[in-house]
Amino acid sequence: MEGKNEQRAGLLYGIGAYGMWGLVPLFWPLLEPSGAIEILAHRMVWSLGVVAVALLLVRRWAWIGELVRDRRKLGLISVAAATISVNWGLYIWAVNNERVVEASLGYFINPLVTIAMGVLLLGERLRPAQWAAVATGVAAVLVLAIGYGKPPWVSLVLAFSFATYGLVKKKVNMGGLESLAAETAVLFVPALGFLLWLAATGESTFMAGGAGHGLLLAATGIVTALPLICFGAAAIRVPLTMLGLLQYLAPVFQFGLGVLYFHEAMPPERWAGFALVWLALSLLTWDALRTARRNRALAAELLATAAAAPATAVPDPGPPPANSAEQKIT
């Protein structure tokens, strides 16, 4: 019963995390007239404050010393910080420049890019369904490139930057809260320096827009950290297959907002490209569910075989040899 409650809680955490990521396009336009780079800098600065408070509450500080002493891991954290800053900055710019649909495409094709990077960089082998999904994804990008008259560069940069971020995070192997703290700590000094430079040149919008605008910019820390905290809570409670399915919630919400709320254009060629992407993701999902079901069946069969196997017979050593005292009595 307790396991079911934990899984139900994990599912709610996962829906909350991906739901917040899916609805975040509604937040970034509220920060105008701040530009994307200024918003990004505030996001870096205030995120560190939020995660520092969270770490203080859970009393997790021992990892800091270990990280500082490990130069390789520190270098990987720096790479992760650089790639996620590109991803965050471009996403904010895309939303505030009426390219929400194109941004959502980046997160739709991200799983396909991740698989392709696994093959090219890690030497992983793909199953036939995965090859078909990747090929369909490439066809989708070609269709969209023809429809746009140029490659959908916003989608591609978002997909490749986030896939690279995921690859580096896998090698770092740190918890979500600790990793975000380390990444924002790396970005804190340049971000704060940029904000101070804006203030010195009179270009800052932090207080120019009033206290309400300043509070909204400060809220970028909560908007960044809260979904990640929920995601971390979900990751330890639900199977990876369920987490993989939940990840599609965010781009679905973003796509819906782009079409229905922001009223972005969807000509036939764009629908065709998205249809191919969704077909590729359907193939991936079907293959993942089938593989997970097969692995569970195999594990159950092995357990049943082990349980049914007779215990190994232990030979009877016979009566113990008589000691010298017993022999004397005899």
| Residues 95, 42 contacting (CB under 8 angstroms) | no
What does each C-alpha distance from 204 to 88, 172, 174, 199, 299 come to in angstroms?
20, 35, 35, 5, 59
pLDDT, residue 111, reads 86
pLDDT, residue 245, reads 77
Assign 126 to helix, strand or coil.
coil
CA distance 318 to 226: 68
pLDDT, residue 1, reads 57
pLDDT, residue 220, reads 93
| Residues 114, 120 contacting (CB under 8 angstroms) | no
Which of 216, 252, 214 lies closest to 22 in space, CA to CA?
A: 252
Predicted structure pTM score: 0.83
pLDDT, residue 323, reads 47
Assign 24 to helix, strand or coil.
helix
pLDDT, residue 201, reads 92
What is the residue-level pLDDT of the chain in tens, covering all 330 positions?
566 777 788 888 889 988 999 999 999 999 999 999 999 999 999 999 888 888 888 787 878 888 888 888 889 999 989 999 999 999 999 999 999 999 999 999 888 888 888 878 777 788 888 888 888 888 988 888 887 778 889 999 999 998 888 888 878 877 777 888 888 899 999 999 999 999 999 898 988 878 899 999 999 999 988 888 888 778 777 776 677 778 888 999 999 999 999 999 888 988 999 999 999 888 888 887 888 788 778 777 777 777 776 555 455 555 555 444 444 333
pLDDT, residue 328, reads 39
pLDDT, residue 213, reads 92
| Residues 111, 243 contacting (CB under 8 angstroms) | no
